[in-house]
A and B are shown apart, each in its own frame.
Chain A
């Protein structure tokens, strides 16, 4: 589906793209469909946002006011920074024209004439590939004025970030694109009404936009049937951690998680047993080994108390210290918290401090409930979901692997039995 051109030589060029059904969906969208029909088709496809929240793309587009006097914008969120996720990079590196086509169809649906692709600063080389693809599209009449003779105009360019995780959040991304510090905005108003430069804006993830051409070309119903009910299509799963074959795999939504680990990723490395799984990037609550027999779609994971997130599957084997893992996750969030909302700025730093203390063997019995309590107080009290993202995995680790924290109280890590931890002295 979206990864089908990955193996083709020079798949990033317009020629290779056109030889493999490229820009056919755009022709169909421009010449045979009205904007309303495009939105209807995407709604029918049950295509849900691939960035993390899983909001239906068609519904999001329909929120954009049709008769707005202000210009409208389409943004592509290519600030992929979620630990464990690396799906957007190959999509832009190996198939940039698919993304451009997806953005063109999206802008046609909402009536936008300007688009920006916000790429994280670390992906500078990917930006060069995209810039070359955009120049090729301009030269061949797929971008610019009067596209394919339809009278539709669209301009597209890339924009680089400079190393802030926070800018992957939609409103912080817009602030950053406006040349300011990447602080999140309060919602409502939502970006569909007041977004970039105060104008109506549609913002979608790279993978969501890259899926749009397939939906238009083959029909929404066909796409919806690929996945499970209410979770249309396929998505890229990035499997990393203790597995034999880590990598990026395109699988239909609703694929069984245990099968994904055992069959697709080749099982746990070195014959170890499975201990835990992070199902969708490090901001999701962890699942224990006994909970893994479930279909990977947005609704099933929500029912299991976790999230599908951005599809970054991190597999953890039985020899991993969960206190150390929680500590590493919290170090990341404490570093990346932008400092705008106090519960997140202070909460992540406090949690980091407590987890560091535990890791060094200086934990106190009252710290265990304190961790849960602190995390609970961060939930839902911040402008953006970064506070929640830090709190949720911590709460799940403390709840499910509480005994490991208790074992650390003795001054020894159960996974390093020979070593007395420094903090215990």
Chain B
């Protein structure tokens, strides 16, 4: 399988980095996913061959990590944090609003076309409650409906 030049270069660096070849597995899968949007069977076979592993060893590792996916994701990947800190400051309200507005649920892909300019950027919110600079980003772009009302 011939790979695009930048990916091939990354794979080469990774293979030289570790005393045991298998160590390069997770980063290789992640870079392949960056390139193709998903990890398909052909890719798994290719990586297994390069690392002297069998296909099962690659798939069992792949299945463990939540950032690696076998199916393509949507064009824009929106993640909303609702863990403890964010829950206290209205993370769930943002999440519900995004769901309503995008007509898609968690871990699903919406087919709705992008109606307004403000959704043409993907954004990720990570621990906004502790990082004021990131916290402002969704506020500025969205209407008051999702503005978390901090009690």
Q: List A residues at the B interface (Cβ < 8 Å).
A: 71, 83-84, 86, 121-122, 157, 159-164, 176-182, 197, 238-242, 246-248, 269-270, 272, 278, 282, 312, 314, 316-317, 319-320, 324-325, 328-329, 332, 338
> A314 and B150: CB pair below 8 A?
no
- What residues of A have a CB within 8 angstroms of the CB of B38 in the complex? none
- What residues of B have a CB within 8 angstroms of the CB of A197 in the complex? 19-20
> B83 and A328: CB pair below 8 A?
yes
Interface centre among A242, A278, A316 (most CB of B within 10 A): A242
Question: Given A240-B130, A317-B151, A332–B64 Cβ distance below 8 Å?
Answer: no
30 residue pairs from A and B, CB less than 8 Å apart = A83-B83, A121-B30, A121-B65, A122-B67, A159-B26, A160-B30, A161-B26, A162-B29, A162-B66, A162-B67, A163-B67, A163-B68, A164-B64, A164-B65, A177-B23, A178-B20, A179-B51, A182-B65, A238-B130, A241-B89, A246-B132, A269-B151, A270-B151, A282-B83, A282-B84, A314-B88, A317-B151, A324-B87, A328-B82, A338-B64
> B30 and A162: CB pair below 8 A?
yes
Q: Is the C-beta of B44 less than 8 angstroms from some C-beta in chain A?
A: no
- What residues of B have a CB within 8 angstroms of the CB of A180 in the complex? 22, 61
> A121 and B60: CB pair below 8 A?
no
Min CB gap B35→A, angstroms: 14
Task: Flag B20-64 by CB within 8 Å of A: 1 or 0 each.
Answer: 101111110110000000000000000000010000000011001
Min CB gap A57→B, angstroms: 25
CA gap between A246 and B136 in the complex, in Å: 13
> A246 and B129: CB pair below 8 A?
yes
B20 contact from A179, A182, A312, A320, Cβ within 8 A: A179
Main secondary structure of the interface of A (DSSP, over half): mixed
> B127 and A247: CB pair below 8 A?
no
CA gap between A159 and B151 in the complex, in Å: 41
Q: Is the C-beta of B110 less than 8 angstroms from some C-beta in chain A?
A: no
Question: Given A122-B126, A314-B85, A325-B84, A176–B26 Cβ distance below 8 Å?
Answer: yes
Q: Which A residue's beta carbon lies closest to that of B126?
A: A122
Question: Given A84-B84, A178-B23, A239-B130, A162–B151 Cβ distance below 8 Å?
Answer: no
Q: Which B residue's beta carbon lies closest to that of A164?
A: B65
B66 contact from A164, A181, A242, A247, Cβ within 8 A: A164
CA gap between A71 and B85 in the complex, in Å: 42
- What residues of A have a CB within 8 angstroms of the CB of B22 in the complex? 178-180
5 other A-B residue contacts (CB within 8 Å) besides A83-B84, A160-B27, A314-B85: A159-B27, A161-B65, A162-B65, A241-B84, A332-B84
Closest 3 CB pairs of A and B: A163-B67, A162-B65, A179-B22
Min CB gap A340→B, angstroms: 11
Min CB gap A184→B, angstroms: 13
| Residues 65-85 of B at the A interface (beta carbon under 8 Å) | 65-68, 82-85
Min CB gap B67→A, angstroms: 4
Q: Is the C-beta of B17 less than 8 angstroms from some C-beta in chain A?
A: yes
> B23 and A179: CB pair below 8 A?
yes
| Residues 3-26 of B at the A interface (beta carbon under 8 Å) | 17, 19-20, 22-26
CA gap between A282 and B84 in the complex, in Å: 8
Q: Which A residue's beta carbon lies closest to that of B33?
A: A162
Question: Given A181-B61, A241-B129, A163–B84 Cβ distance below 8 Å?
Answer: no
- What residues of B have a CB within 8 angstroms of the CB of A329 in the complex? 84
> B151 and A241: CB pair below 8 A?
no
- What residues of A have a CB within 8 angstroms of the CB of B126 in the complex? 122
> A182 and B64: CB pair below 8 A?
yes
> A162 and B19: CB pair below 8 A?
no
- What residues of B have a CB within 8 angstroms of the CB of A181 in the complex? 60-61, 64
Q: Is the C-beta of B131 less than 8 angstroms from some C-beta in chain A?
A: yes
- What residues of B have a CB within 8 angstroms of the CB of A121 in the complex? 30, 65, 67
> A163 and B27: CB pair below 8 A?
no
> B131 and A86: CB pair below 8 A?
yes
CA gap between A338 and B60 in the complex, in Å: 13
Min CB gap A289→B, angstroms: 15
CA gap between A343 and B108 in the complex, in Å: 31
> A84 and B85: CB pair below 8 A?
yes
CA gap between A162 and B126 in the complex, in Å: 16
B127 contact from A86, A270, A282, Cβ within 8 A: A86
